[in-house]
């Protein structure tokens, strides 16, 4: 199993946004030295204090490309409804980045949330078919000497020379982000790797991963030139020498970040009122109604979906009673001392995950704590998996 990082690029006061950018660059350089294989960064818009400041990850990656030499750089993800990013520009930018990194780029794609979509004038009901058209044409722009054109409902592109072409041949690996179990089927049908952004117990992934691995062998609508059959899943992380201190911290931080009292002024980029924020318990019903009207399920990671085995949603009282020990022991968070974090990583490996992504910038965790965490992963955790891979 490989190891990755998933960044939202947050800035927790008193850290400035400018300093946060510099901190993350420094963290990723260290992560490469410690043996991490991938770094992924989200694309979010309209978030506020404490939320994601990663609205232009392609610009950040240009800087990162010149400070690293081995770690793979993944868009996790580029938003593909056309008003966010026109597919021609995506193809051009990713190819240019692939040149600057000497072939270290992976392209993950997604659709974002209704809140962000509507800010760009996108009808949320159109986001899936827009994504479908865009992901279909981007690989062709890389592999055809002269792009032969495309005409669909949302995209009308005449034949054109699209340059540059990526270093990786036939093209960089393609991934799809998801928070819903049914999206595994979509990814398999198109031969796309899976970026699982849902928060939950890793054992629940095992069955879905087995079904995906079987289905992706014979995709019915392959969009690229090859199948990417990899599954990456993430957990929020905090590794330190003091196991109890880390577990106590994440127990509180998780409930403050995702509980019913959270003021959604940023973070996931989906509050109906980004300036003032809303109480999450009030927000659930309104947002659920919006998605019901669109014929879309409510994302699991926004529900209290932490019950063991049964797959039922917990009550607010049950959520509030969660402890750091339970969250770590169930594999929902990768936190504690290196031994605790190693156990969580093994849960994901046993579930069939090919790449375990840890998300470090959450809950007010400091730059210094993140650097310490990476050193501990590099010394005690990642080598265990690399040794196992060599032995196999």
- Please return the burial class of 261, using the count of CB atoms within 10 Å of its CB with bins 0-12, 13-18 and 19+: exposed
Contact, 224 vs 171, CB < 8 A?
yes
Average pLDDT score over residue span 40-60: 91
The pLDDT score that the predictor gives to residue 364 is 92
Model confidence band, residue 305 (pLDDT cutoffs 50, 70, 90): very low
Tokens of 62: 């240009």
Model confidence band, residue 267 (pLDDT cutoffs 50, 70, 90): very low
Model confidence band, residue 240 (pLDDT cutoffs 50, 70, 90): very high
State which of 112-126, 152-166, 188-202 shows the largest mean pLDDT: 152-166
Is the pLDDT score of 283 beyond 60?
no
Largest CA distance in the chain: 61
Q: Give 156's strand partners.
A: 151
For the chain, which residues make up each domain, given as ranges? 2-391
Average pLDDT score over residue span 119-146: 96
Angstrom CA distances, 180 to 40, 122, 237, 300, stand at 19, 21, 22, 7
Interatomic CA distance for residues 359 and 375, integer angstroms: 15
φ, ψ of residue 279 in degrees (nearest 5): -75, 130
Higher-scoring residue by pLDDT: 287, 361: 361
The pLDDT score that the predictor gives to residue 315 is 53
The pLDDT score that the predictor gives to residue 271 is 40
Average pLDDT score over residue span 338-367: 97
Q: What is the mean pLDDT of the chain?
A: 87
Q: Where are the alpha helices (DSSP H) in the chain?
A: 17-33, 57-65, 87-100, 114-119, 127-143, 183-190, 205-215, 243-258, 280-293, 316-320, 324-329, 338-350, 367-376, 382-391
Interatomic CA distance for residues 50 and 277, integer angstroms: 12
Average pLDDT score over residue span 302-320: 47
φ, ψ of residue 72 in degrees (nearest 5): -80, 140
Is the pLDDT score of 212 beyond 60?
yes
Average pLDDT score over residue span 220-229: 98
Give the rounded percent of residues in the chain with a pLDDT score beyond 70: 83
Model confidence band, residue 272 (pLDDT cutoffs 50, 70, 90): very low
The pLDDT score that the predictor gives to residue 269 is 39
Interatomic CA distance for residues 87 and 81, integer angstroms: 9
Class of the domain covering 2-391: alpha beta
């Amino acid at each position: 199993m490989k190891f990755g990082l998933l960044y939202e690029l947050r800035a927790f006061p008193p850290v400035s946004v400018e300093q946060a950018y510099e901190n993350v660059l420094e963290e990723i350089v260290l992560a490469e030295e410690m043996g991490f294989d991938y770094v992924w960064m989200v694309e979010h818009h309209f978030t506020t204090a404490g939320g994601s400041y990663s609205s232009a990850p392609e610009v950040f990656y240009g800087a990162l490309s010149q400070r690293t030499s081995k770690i793979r750089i993944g868009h996790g993800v580029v938003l593909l409804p056309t008003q966010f990013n026109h597919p021609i520009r995506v193809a051009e930018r990713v190819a240019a980045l692939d040149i600057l990194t000497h072939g270290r780029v992976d392209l993950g794609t997604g659709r974002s949330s209704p809140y962000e979509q509507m800010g760009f004038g996108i009808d949320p009901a159109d986001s899936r078919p827009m994504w479908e058209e865009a992901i279909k044409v981007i690989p062709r722009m890389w592999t055809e000497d002269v792009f032969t054109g495309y005409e669909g409902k949302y995209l009308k592109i005449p034949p054109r020379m699209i340059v540059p072409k990526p270093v990786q041949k036939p093209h960089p690996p393609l991934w799809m982000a998801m928070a819903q179990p049914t999206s595994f089927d979509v990814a398999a049908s198109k031969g796309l790797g899976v970026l699982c952004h849902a928060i939950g117990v890793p054992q629940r992934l095992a069955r879905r991963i087995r079904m995906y691995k079987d289905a992706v062998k014979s995709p019915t609508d392959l969009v690229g030139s090859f199948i990417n059959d990899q599954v990456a899943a993430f957990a929020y992380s905090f590794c330190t020498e003091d196991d109890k201190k880390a577990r106590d911290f994440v127990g509180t931080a998780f409930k403050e970040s995702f509980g019913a009292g959270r003021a959604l002024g940023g973070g996931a980029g989906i509050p109906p009122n980004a300036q003032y924020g809303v109480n999450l318990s009030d927000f659930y019903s309104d947002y659920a109604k919006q998605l019901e009207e669109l014929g879309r399920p409510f994302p699991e990671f926004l529900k209290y979906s932490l019950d063991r085995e049964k797959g039922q949603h917990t009550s607010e009282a049950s959520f509030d009673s969660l402890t750091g020990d339970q969250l770590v022991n169930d594999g929902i968070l990768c936190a504690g001392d290196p031994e605790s974090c190693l156990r969580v990583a093994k849960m994901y490996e046993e579930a069939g995950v090919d790449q375990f992504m840890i998300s470090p910038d959450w809950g007010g965790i400091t730059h210094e704590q993140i650097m310490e965490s990476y050193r501990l992963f590099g010394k005690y955790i990642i080598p265990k998996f690399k040794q196992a891979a060599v032995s196999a």
